[in-house]
Amino acid sequence: GAGCNSPLDCNGAPCADAVRATRLGAFDFLEKPLDRDRVLLAVRNALERRKITQEVTKLRAAVEARHEMVGDSAAMRDLLRQIQKIGPTKGRVLITGESGTGKELIARALHSASVAASTSRGEIPFVKVNCAAIPPELIESELFGHEKGSFTGAVARKRGLFEVADGGTIFLDEIGDMSLSAQAKVLRALQQGEIVRVGSEKVLRVDCRVLAATNKDLEAEVQKGTFREDLYYRLSVIPVYSPRLRERKEDIPLLAEAFVAKCCEENGFRPKAVAPEVLARLGAYHWPGNVRELKNVMERLVIMSDDEITCNDLPDYLGGAATGVRAPFSDGVPAAPAFSAIPYASLSLREFREQSEREFIKLKLEEFSWNISRTAQALGIERTNLHKKLRALGLERQT
């Protein structure tokens, strides 16, 4: 500032001009007389800060692009309208739908809408919790934190994810797999906005929006006694349904081309065209794995095809010449030969579903030589979920 020879006043405190300039957004404050080396250092630091800011902006844009919702079907337009209405509010949302339909994308879109409507200038966190992937004995510590020495292995105090999400959004994915004891603690956090770290008696206040998602029928789980009824009603203030891909087949060409473009960019490939016949065959398929399955198929086609993706690149279950991949279902009917032995005409719907799932998982396990990680990736589920299914279905590797 003019007439100021130092950024400090006579008492050694920052002068008013320096404080005011910083509050108005100045990167640095230079006192008179100007020192050449000091000016050069300030300019260099300012340029470096600008570079970092641009890189952060670019990375954030890339992350947002990864979570972009693609589609122009009636089902997607209705879903986007719901997000626009619900997003800016603080209402709790329960997102339901099959695996692979993009429930996390819906949660992130709701969070982004709330951030856009917020007047806060600070960082607004989005914290995802995969309830199925956390062991029951650790989920309480993960969600609410713990004090040092509260249990074996607690070598330091740890903030829980509810604390981390304070002022923002916490997304409880696969909420239907949460243990009853953890459900009781989550209910208290929702009802009173209070949590207690493991090993502590101090009550902490938290203020975060809770979004939850599940591929289970929670009303049926309530009837079976595996999910708390009071928690269900707390979570499902606003229910949102994530449509299956077969309910929005008009979006398949858009999704397929978007996945192709993204995969080409990530792998440094030249852009590849998708033949119209390929899009037609993709549209005729049932897609039991939904959008996640389509994404995996398009990634495989990009890697294995030449300049254009043609019908010859398609696996046989999509009507192509490529072999080695069989479809679990075609238009909802089990495909031979893996499922031909199932006497489905004499089964109930539940029994048919369980046996079909068992045969399909067994088929995939054999395809990947019982490698659990690769099988789980191919199925589009977490390893912990696959282990649970193996136990529930009684599947064991024969030695």
> Tens digit of pLDDT for each residue in 41-67?
888 888 887 777 767 666 555 555 555
The pLDDT score that the predictor gives to residue 337 is: 38
Q: What is the Cα–Cα distance from 151 to 198, expressed in whole angstroms? A: 9
Tell if the pTM clears 0.75, that is, is over it. no
Q: What is the Cα–Cα distance from 225 to 232, expressed in whole angstroms? A: 12
Give the strands of the sheet with 126-130, arranged side by side. Answer: 126-130, 169-173, 209-214, 93-96, 238-241
Whose CA is closest to 216, among 206, 201, 227?
227
The pLDDT score that the predictor gives to residue 208 is: 92
Low-confidence ranges of the chain (pLDDT < 50): 1-13, 323-326, 328-344
The pLDDT score that the predictor gives to residue 121 is: 56
Q: What is the Cα–Cα distance from 270 to 379, expressed in whole angstroms? A: 29
What's the pLDDT tens digit per position in 202-226?
A: 999 999 999 999 999 999 999 999 9
Q: What is the Cα–Cα distance from 295 to 80, expressed in whole angstroms? A: 21
SS3 at position 127: strand
**Stretch (H or E) spanning 333:** strand 333-334
